[in-house]
Structure 1
């Protein structure tokens, strides 16, 4: 196990940076809280970075958790993966490997937003013994996502996914385009600083291609490596660990009207004893728009034994 204790913040919630190797890849990460506390692993999405958890990490630390937010594979300072795998199963394998490296046990909790939510579903389903409780934000389980994806209004919102399949994707990913996604997905929030942080994570053309690769792996399974087959299969299954699903009522990326059109069906896709809740006056980046509200719901959920 790597020595990562020196990069953790104290129980005062100070956020510090660190680097660790997991699943054959060097990960940069942010961390806060006591090294002896139960692990709370926080996974970001697109077009975002580990800094997205800047409001939650200190609160998790104050509650006694060792809160860790890695930069996902291909997002600098994390390395571009030499295996070129960006399937959900690879993201899940990373999460479970980070659990191991940070000394997590069965009391660990997993929190994910956007692509981080997809990774959290797969990681907790493939290795339920590693995680006690799960929180996901903004992207429902795969079954529920597919049911809503082909609604006409949702297809219009999802234009960027189809753009990612073209050779023009990297050329289109300008500062202006990324800022536009933030403005559309979280109307009124003003995510210029967060968009700029994402662009800094795209430190090279290879890093930008990595971020695009997540979307290409959605629609093209030819790049799925067999080593992640178990985690990939788990991504489509209903997990075992109770999950709190939070969605912004004004989400401009994945419409709340489609996701919550049939709440009973959404709950049926989540593990037993799960909950699905709308957060009012919030869009796709609800944890940044309504940090106090979202933090309270997250902390209340993971406190349940």
Structure 2
């Protein structure tokens, strides 16, 4: 497959750059990456989606070079949603477009799939359950089993609390990134991807931006007014038919949570556990992931 093209999108807050595979007249599969990853993380799945008739557009999320950092310091979910919508508009929406999000891309994707007027026909969310799955706790079936899993999950999520500390996290990129890849996808040789991540968020200002995603979410700060309306959706129930995928060997979050995700999805949705896959399933099991996605979204032709 030929090298991807580039799409440049200037917004009032950031300059976004996106990779684009496939013909420009095909419906778009907008692929949003997470942490610590880059748009290059879709390079193995993209050719398989293009072969099924889709155009894959994968932006580097704000703060991840070659996209710029935020001029107003916003790394709220509403800002990520706005970026995705602007990239879709720049790429040329077709009315048949779908969203595919992994990790932070799945968090932003859940917000986009919750919009009553979402421009996406279907969504695929990977590795991080939609926030609405666990809200409110009183409505969740078998809540006791879910609560029993929390202590182990807190240990797995050590990095989130670590990122809230002052000063120290800013100097930890070289330690944190390879450790998380080893922990989250233990059977995958991540050396190439760790190097790509270093290029994207190795600079101090970019690393602070990556930390900013977690700080904005945990500290509950308000987004700038331009993102406030979109930001309200990320904790809401999904409206768009959604495929939820989780790797059986995910070291970031247990695949066991999938049993709570599926009942919370809208009609026409389903959830699947990808066997032998870690957190970065689009890289360690690309054929399986692409097959499940194309079975759900259908052909782009």
Task: State the alpha-carbon separation in 2 of the partners of residues 82 and 300 from structure 1.
Answer: 40
Q: Unpaired runs of 5+ in structure 2? A: 138-145
Distance 1:62 1:137, change over 3 A: same
- Aligned counterpart in structure 2 of residue 71 of structure 1, from 39, 43, 60: 60
Q: 2:35 matched to 1:40?
A: no
> What's the CA shift string for 1:5-31, capped at 9, x where partnerless?
xxxxxxx56423342324642112111
> What's the CA shift string for 1:257-298, capped at 9, x where partnerless?
3x13xx2x3223222221111011111011111111111111
> What's the CA shift string for 1:130-166, capped at 9, x where partnerless?
1011101100101336766870000000000001101
Task: State the alpha-carbon separation in 2 of the partners of residues 39 and 280 from structure 1.
Answer: 27
Counterpart for residue 170 of structure 1: 170
Q: Is the Cα contact below 8 Å between 2:115 and 2:239 reproduced in 1?
A: no
Q: Is the Cα contact below 8 Å between 2:249 and 2:279 reproduced in 1?
A: yes
Task: State the alpha-carbon separation in 2 of the partners of residues 244 and 23 from structure 1.
Answer: 32
Q: Is the Cα contact below 8 Å between 2:53 and 2:299 reproduced in 1?
A: no
Task: State the alpha-carbon separation in 1 of the partners of residues 78 and 210 from structure 2.
Answer: 16
Q: 2:42 matched to 1:53?
A: yes
Q: How many residues align?
A: 289
- Aligned counterpart in structure 1 of residue 298 of structure 2, from 287, 296, 303: 303
Counterpart for residue 272 of structure 2: 277
Give the TM-score normalised by the residue count of structure 1.
0.89
Aligned to 1:235, the other structure's residue is in SS state: helix
Counterpart for residue 225 of structure 2: 226
Distance 1:127 1:39, change over 3 A: farther
- Aligned counterpart in structure 2 of residue 97 of structure 1, from 86, 92, 95: 86
Q: Is the Cα contact below 8 Å between 1:13 and 1:57 reproduced in 2?
A: no
1:203-242 aligned at under 5 Å gives the runs: 203-242=202-241
Which is worse superposed, 121-130 or 213-222?
A: 121-130
Counterpart for residue 189 of structure 2: 190
Aligned to 1:72, the other structure's residue is in SS state: coil
Give the TM-score normalised by the residue count of structure 2.
0.90
Q: Is the Cα contact below 8 Å between 1:139 and 1:254 reproduced in 2?
A: yes
Counterpart for residue 19 of structure 2: 30
Aligned to 2:121, the other structure's residue is in SS state: strand
Distance 1:190 1:145, change over 3 A: farther
Q: Is the Cα contact below 8 Å between 1:128 and 1:240 reproduced in 2?
A: no
Q: Is the Cα contact below 8 Å between 1:40 and 1:68 reproduced in 2?
A: yes
Q: Unpaired runs of 5+ in structure 1? A: 1-11
Distance 1:127 1:191, change over 3 A: farther
Q: Is the Cα contact below 8 Å between 1:44 and 1:50 reproduced in 2?
A: yes
Q: Is the Cα contact below 8 Å between 1:139 and 1:145 reproduced in 2?
A: no
> What's the CA shift string for 1:154-196, capped at 9, x where partnerless?
000000000110121111221x431111011011212121111
Counterpart for residue 7 of structure 1: none
Q: Is the Cα contact below 8 Å between 1:37 and 1:66 reproduced in 2?
A: yes
Pairwise CA RMSD: 1.9
Counterpart for residue 282 of structure 2: 287
Counterpart for residue 153 of structure 1: 152
Instruction: Identify the structure with bigger relative contact order (alpha carbons < 8 Å, sequence gap 6+).
Output: 2
Task: State the alpha-carbon separation in 1 of the partners of residues 121 and 132 from structure 2.
Answer: 22
